[in-house]
Amino acid sequence: MALMSYAQAACQALAAAMRADANVIALGEDVGHGGIFGQYRGLREEFGAARVIDTPISEATIMGAAVGMALTGLRPVVEMRVVDFALCAIDEIVNQAAKNRYMFGGQGRVPLVARMPIGIWSGSAAQHSQSLEAWFAHIPGLVVVAPATPADNYGLLAAAIDCGDPVIYMEHKELWGLEGEVPPQHTVALGQAHTARDGTDLTLVTWSGMVHTALAAAEQAVQQGVSVEVIDLRTIWPWDRELVFASVARTGRLLVAHEAVQAAGFGAEVAATVAEELGVPVRRFGAARIPVGYARSLEDVARISAQELLRELMLFANSDSRGRSMA
C-alpha cells in the first residue's frame, strides 16, 4: 500500500498507462505545467511535449482534436479543467465522440477519457461549481465515472483509459488533497459499485464527494439507533444495479443523495428503477435548484451538510411502509 493524495493517484495511474502504451497521450490547458490541481505533475518531464500537449484556451478545439486522435488509434486523456468549461465542447462530446461507433457501424471507435471535475469549488461561484453527471448519463454511447477516493481515482482512471469507448471522468474539485492508501497496480472495474459501510435499516446510495458526507451522517445515525448501509456507485453509467438491489432487498428502504441539483438529478433514475423493481419506499436528496453563490453564506445554502443528510436519514428511517413521516 502507498499513501497518496487523490491528485497523485490519478497522476500515477496516467503515468503507468503512458509507460505501458505509447498511444496514450494527454492534452489540455496547462497539462505541461502539471495541471491546476497537480494531476499531471511530472508527466511532461518524463514523456515530453509530444505526449503531454499544452493547448490553446478553446475547449471545442481540444475535444475536437481528441476525437480525431482517438479515431486514428491514439488514446487521448483530455483535460477540461472543470465540467463547467466542458460545456463549450458539448457538440464534440455528444454528437461526435458518443455517436461515432453507432453511426459508422463500429468501424470507428473513440477511446478517449474526458476529465471534467465536478462539484462545488469553494469560493468559485456559479460557473465553477456544478455537478452535471446526469447530463452525460443521459447520452447513449458515453460511460460516466465519478471516483470518491484516491484508490478509486487510480483504479478507475486506469480502467477508463482501457475502456475503448468515450469516458466522461468526473473527479471532484475539492478532493484533490484527500489522502488514502492505494494498492500497487490497483484496478477497479467500470460499472462496479462499492459498499463503503454495512448497515441493516436503510440503504444510502451516493457517489463522488457526497460519499464522505454520507459516511459522516451514517456514523452519527448509529448513535440514534439507525444502521445505514452506504453504497458508492463509483460509475454513474453503467450503474451497479445488482449491488444496489441486493442491499435494498435487505434493508427495505433506499435514499439516494447527491451534490447535484435534486431536480432531474441521476438520483431520480436510481430511485425510480429500485421502486419499479422492488416496490420499496425510496427518496431522493439533492441540492436546491439554485446557482451556487460566491459568498460563503450563499454557497452554504447550495451545499448538503452531514447534519442535513442525517436529518433526512432519520425522517426516512422513522417513516411508515410507504415512506411517509409518522411524526
Residues 6+ apart with CB under 8 A from 236: 133, 136, 137, 144, 145, 146, 170, 207, 266
What are the backbone angles phi and psi of residue 175, rounded to the nearest 5°?
A: -105, 0
Cα Rg, the chain, nearest whole Å: 20
Please tell me the distance from the alpha carbon of residue 265 to that of residue 287, in angstroms, as a whole number: 9
**Is-cis flag, bond preceding 147, omega within 30?**
no
- The CA dihedral of 197, 201, 207, 209, to the nearest 10 degrees, is -70
CA–CA distance, 120 with 157 (Å, rounded to integer): 21
Q: How far apart are CA 298 and CA 234, in angstroms?
A: 29
**Helix or strand holding residue 274 (H, E):** helix 266-278
| Cα Dmax for the chain | 64
Nearest 5°: CA angle at 251, between 249 and 252? Answer: 65
* Kind plus residue range of the DSSP H or E element containing 282: strand 282-287
**In the block, which residue shows the cell 458526507?**
213
Full-model pTM: 0.96
d(CA 26, CA 193): 27
Which domains occur in the chain, in start order? Answer: 2-182 (3.40.50.970), 194-317 (3.40.50.920)
| Residue the block writes with cell 452506504 | 230
* Torsion angles phi and psi, residue 295, rounded to 5: -65, 140
Residue 146 has which C-alpha cell?
465519478
Catalytic residues: 128
Q: Cell 461507433: give the residue.
A: 101
Identity at 261, one-letter amino acid code: V
Q: Show pLDDT as tens, one digit a residue, over the chain (327 residues).
A: 899 999 999 999 999 999 999 999 999 999 999 999 999 999 999 999 999 999 999 999 999 999 999 999 999 999 999 999 999 999 999 999 999 999 999 999 999 999 999 999 999 999 999 999 999 999 999 999 999 999 999 999 999 999 999 999 999 999 999 999 999 989 999 999 999 999 999 999 999 999 999 999 999 999 999 999 999 999 999 999 999 999 999 999 999 999 999 999 999 999 999 999 999 999 999 999 999 999 999 999 999 999 999 999 999 999 875 666 555
Cell of 60: 471545442
